[in-house]
A and B are shown apart, each in its own frame.
Chain A
Amino acid sequence: MSATLRVRVWRGGAEGAFREYAVPRHESQTVLDVVTYVQRHLDPTLAYRYACRVGMCGSCAMAVNGQPRWTCRTHVDKVAKGDRIELAPLKNLPVIRDLVTDMREFFDKWARAKGQFRGEKKRSDDFARISPASERRKLVDAAIECIGCAVCYSACDVAAWNPDYLGPAALNRAWTLVNDERDAQQAARLRAVAGDAGCHSCHTHMSCTDRCPKALSPTAGIAGLKRAVAVAALKGGL
């Protein structure tokens, strides 16, 4: 193990260049440790994001040697190519500066996919009774842990090829709501997730499923959406 890491970091916006920094190497060092060292000791003008630093919030997501990852959960030893690491902002999102991307489009698409719950009960109504063992609830539970880190969106080839594509996270969230018996905007949601901008453009590359740090499978949810939308279309309900 070398004493120093050679770290190339993207500096700039959409236009810019990689700049190399020398960072002392340690045992059990994470990539977040590395980028933090650069900002605190070598170049305070470096912009990057993190918050919890313990793999819960997803804020630290960026491209490490070309792959989108959470830097706080990535050990240097696992990804370093010899003594080299390359850090770049997440793909498929506009770059604000350096390693920070503009996440607005990611969340706008979440909203466009009707990724928000809408109930119709009043406070005077009784509680909804949903068994955790029911088939639909199990489908929801398998996909509900998404924290909106955008690693999947950044890994998705279709998101790169089709600027309108809602993306794996938005569609995955829509899937959890399609299976939520309490939700009252099912018809509108199926319309929102169908078509060239929606589930039908998923070509099952499965990069999202491969890269999700929470081991979710948006591919599974999107396949479910395809079936649900097709059934609705055949019944004349789309």
Chain B
Amino acid sequence: MSVRGETRLWIAQRASAAVLALCVLVHLATMIYAVRGGLTGAEILARTRGSGAWLAFYSVFVLAVTVHAPIGLRAVLAEWLGWRGRSRDAALLLFAMLLAWMGMRAVFGVFA
């Protein structure tokens, strides 16, 4: 990849990190609140079903994760496994697509 491309990855990583910082704070707080007295599917769905706000929130969350996780793994694969080059980047793109598909399926799973 060119240095321009690698720079863009860095920018995307930091931008998605900032978005995720907010999403994770909300998510952690929600988990701590929700887990009190036990967790049931009904409780989760009561919160998320038909809620445009939760749909928007979790969609943004999933999108940010789809950007952030693969770029994060990119450095790890190179530095700890010695995997560099196009095959690594192609594998990470596939991983991103997997996260996006499964993530949005989950989001709609609790919204619809």
Chains A and B directly touch (beta carbon < 8 Å): yes
A166 to B79, CA, bound (A): 14
Question: How close is A210's CB to chain B, nearest CB, in angstroms?
Answer: 20
Q: B-facing mask of A175-217, CB < 8 A → 1, else 0?
A: 0000000000000000100111010110100000000000000
Residue A22 CB within 8 A of the other chain: no
Point out the residues of chain A lying under 8 angstroms from B2, CB to CB: 195
- 1/0 per residue, CB under 8 A from B, across A143-176: the answer is 0000000000000001001100000000000000
Complex contact A191–B3 (CB within 8 A): yes
**Of B4, B79, B84, which one neighbours A233 at CB under 8 angstroms?**
B4
The interface centre, meaning the residue of A161, A162, A196, A233 with most chain B CB atoms within 10 A of its CB, is A196
Question: Closest approach, in angstroms, between the C-beta of A158 and any C-beta of chain B?
Answer: 7
Closest to B10 in A: A200
> B3 touching A198 by the CB < 8 A rule?
yes
Residues in chain A near residue B4, CB distance under 8 A: 194, 233, 238
Cβ-based interface call for B75 (8 A):
yes
Q: Which residues of A contact B9 (CB under 8 A)?
A: 200
**In the assembly, what is the distance between CA of A118 and CA of B63, in Å?**
44
Chain B min CB distance to A16 (Å): 25
Say yes or no: A229 contacts B7, CB within 8 Å. Answer: yes
Q: B43 in the interface, Cβ–Cβ < 8 Å?
A: no
- Contact: A200 with B80, CB < 8 Å? no
| B-chain residues with CB within 8 Å of residue A195 when the two chains form the complex | 1-3, 6-7
B47 beta carbon closer than 8 Å to chain A: no
Minimum Cβ distance to chain A for residue B105 (Å): 33
Task: Say yes or no: B79 contacts A194, CB within 8 Å.
Answer: no
Residue-wise, chain B 1-40 has the 8 Å CB interface mask toward A (1 for contact) of: 1111011111100000000000000000000000000000
| Among B3, B6, B9, B11: residue with most chain A CB under 10 A | B3
Cα–Cα, bound, A229→B4 (Å): 9
| Any B CB within 8 A of the CB of A47 | no
Give the docked Cα–Cα distance between A168 and B89 (Å): 26
B78 within 8 A of A: yes
What are the residues of chain B within 8 A of A162 when measuring CB–CB?
78-79
In the bound complex, CA of A158 to CA of B80 (Å): 10
Nearest A residue to B4 by beta-carbon distance?
A238
Tell me how far the C-beta of B78 lies from the nearest C-beta in chain A, rounded to whole angstroms.
7
Q: Is the CB of B3 within 8 A of A201?
A: no
Complex: chain A residue closest to B3, CB-CB: A195
A191 contact set on B, CB distance < 8 A: 3
Smallest beta-carbon distance B107→chain A, Å = 30
The residue in chain B whose Cβ has the minimal distance to the Cβ of A161 is: B79
With A230-B11, A233-B11 in contact, is A161–B80 under 8 Å at CB? yes
Contact A203 B75 (CB under 8 A): yes
A-B pairs, top 6 by smallest CB distance, nearest first, are A195-B3, A161-B79, A195-B6, A194-B3, A233-B7, A200-B10
New A-B pairs, 17, CB < 8 Å, besides A161-B79, A162-B78: A158-B79, A161-B80, A191-B3, A194-B7, A195-B1, A195-B2, A195-B3, A196-B6, A200-B6, A200-B7, A201-B79, A203-B75, A230-B10, A233-B8, A233-B11, A238-B4, A238-B7
6 contacts between A and B (CB under 8 A): A158-B79, A161-B78, A162-B78, A195-B2, A196-B6, A230-B11
